[in-house]
Amino acid sequence: MNLEWKAAELDEFVRSYKSDNLNVYTDIDDNTLMLCFEFKPNPPESKEIRNHIIQKCIEKFSWFNIKDCSEHGDITYVAGTIPLKPNPNWKTYIYPIVINNV
């Protein structure tokens, strides 16, 4: 399965978590699949929400993992907070995805 198919499959899955205050989407940058979260505003529980969705993705997709997860020992590792689609009113978290060989 190529990267675009994985992105589409993942995007369809995380779409159910979207709300007025949360946008979840995928993007591909430099041949890396990204899982992106945008919160408006950035609630204190955003880390728990991100953890929950990431855990559900790990359970659903055998190929899904968070980049550097094992090094950091924490699936909440945030690769960066620079939005791929800038929106000044939203706090954006970007997670590069490692594609596990299955």
DSSP assignment of 13-79, as one string? HHGGG--SSEEEEEEEETTEEEEEEEESS--TTHHHHHHHHHHHHHHH-TTEEETTHHHHT-TT---
How far CA 94 is from CA of 1, 2, 63, in Å, comes to 23, 21, 18
Q: pTM for the full model?
A: 0.76
Locate 22 and state its tokens. 């949360």
Note the pLDDT tens digit of each residue in 40-99: 887 888 888 988 999 999 999 999 887 654 443 333 334 444 445 556 677 778 888 878
All structural domains of the chain, each given as residue ranges with its CATH number in brackets, are 3-99 (3.30.1360)
Cα 99 to its chain centre, rounded Å, is 13
Q: Taking a C-beta distance cutoff of 8 angstroms, is the pair 24, 11 a contact?
A: no
Q: List, for residues 3-45, the tens digit of each pLDDT value.
A: 899 999 999 999 999 999 999 999 887 788 888 888 888 788 8
